[in-house]
Amino acid sequence: MPLFRTYLLGGLVILLASCQAPIGGGGRGSTYGDKPGPQGFTTVIVDAGHGGKDSGAHTRGLMEKQLALDIARRLKSELRLGFKVVMMRDSDHFVELDDRVRTANRQSNAVLVSIHLNYGSRRRAGPETYYWRTDSYSLARRVQQQLSAAAPYESGNAGLVRRRLRLTRNPTIPCILVECGYLTNASEAALLTKTSYRERLAEAIARGIRAQAANGDAGMGPLPRPIYAPPSRAGDARG
């Protein structure tokens, strides 16, 4: 009965494999994000957060949606020579988060970088970069390192943060969300009103993206283990 035994064994292996398959995707062919980080990607989707009816954070006469679009446009100029750049929005209009995810999913060999400005206690200052997926860790870390070097001071900011958001969990491509600085901090808000500082931030983000495209995960140490969780939905914190 060797054939039968092989068949049984094969069935057992398949059974074991399916037991290990995580809920919500994973394994070979998964679009979940449990793969290594990308290298040699050719497209960058630049997502200016908020827009239109959704101003995002607004304080001290500054509106997050406007600053995010300005930095996104500068980032596009920085990247234009080396990448195909897709702007999620290039004017002041509202785009649903799930539509942003759908736009991202139409691109291949691409990464998504979402640009935001932060709000919180008045004492907090400095950039933060959010990721969730294993395949987005190195990109997030590289961008955060560059932004941190570009920021003149940091205070109580969270730095690199692993958080499940609609734009860090749901797209099929590697995806990160950048909070460029705190609008609620007087000094940082004053800096963000300056064209030269917004340009500096865009250059820093571009350096992180270029380093990821050139090197992949090299030099980033062990990657974080995938955390299998369902897609983020409306109503999730800051989703």
Contacts with Zn ion, residue ranges (CB under 5 A): 49, 56, 116
* Complex with Zn ion: residue 56 or 226, whichever CB lies closer: 56
In the complex, the smallest distance separating the C-beta of residue 49 from Zn ion, rounded to whole angstroms, is: 4
- How far apart CA 78 and CA 71 sit, in angstroms, is 10
Residue nearest to Zn ion (CB): 116
Structure tokens, 188:
């940082």
* Complex with Zn ion: residue 30 or 66, whichever CB lies closer: 66
* Complex with Zn ion: residue 37 or 65, whichever CB lies closer: 65
- How far apart CA 201 and CA 199 sit, in angstroms, is 5
Contact status, residue 114 vs residue 49, Cβ threshold 8 Å: yes
Which residue type sits at 76?
K
* Complex with Zn ion: residue 116 or 124, whichever CB lies closer: 116
Contact status, residue 135 vs residue 155, Cβ threshold 8 Å: no
- How far apart CA 96 and CA 90 sit, in angstroms, is 15
* Complex with Zn ion: residue 69 or 150, whichever CB lies closer: 69
Residue 159 φ/ψ region, left for φ over 0, alpha for ψ in the -120 to 50 degree band, beta for the rest: left
In the complex, the smallest distance separating the C-beta of residue 35 from Zn ion, rounded to whole angstroms, is: 27
Q: What's the residue count for the chain?
A: 239
In the complex, the smallest distance separating the C-beta of residue 118 from Zn ion, rounded to whole angstroms, is: 8
In the complex, the smallest distance separating the C-beta of residue 13 from Zn ion, rounded to whole angstroms, is: 46
In the complex, the smallest distance separating the C-beta of residue 101 from Zn ion, rounded to whole angstroms, is: 16
Q: What are phi and psi of 38, to 5 degrees?
A: -80, 150
